[in-house]
Amino acid sequence: MFPDGLLLSPARAMAWADAPGVDGLTIESLGDLFDIDPRPEFLLLGTGAGLRQPPRPFVRAVEALGIGVEAMDSRAAARAWGVLRAEERQIVAALLPL
């Protein structure tokens, strides 16, 4: 169980112990999540128990790296992760706690 949040890449799952709230998201708060090869297509952002839109500066910073952002509640993001990884899509996920 990951009560504080979870960061996922195709190679690993890590507890996200210092996860900020949605409004505090920055590229730096994701650590080295984007440092994979090939670069991820997009970030699945789980915003907790309900959908919240991430701050525009955060989205713009991620998009400037050539990575899209798909925000949804964390349960939906976890389900989408399973489906998309089964299709071998190159994605990462940051799931905030419920």
* 23 pLDDT higher than 70: yes
**Rounded mean pLDDT, 62-81:** 98
Q: Give me the domains of the chain, ranges plus CATH numbers.
A: 6-95 (3.40.1230.10)
Q: Which helix (H) or strand (E) holds 61?
A: helix 56-64
**Rounded mean pLDDT, 64-75:** 98
Per-residue pLDDT band at 3 (split at 50, 70, 90): confident
**Rounded mean pLDDT, 48-58:** 97
Per-residue pLDDT band at 56 (split at 50, 70, 90): very high
> Mean pLDDT of all residues in the chain?
96
Computed from CA positions of residues 75, 24, 9, 63, in that sequence, does the dihedral angle turn out positive or negative? positive
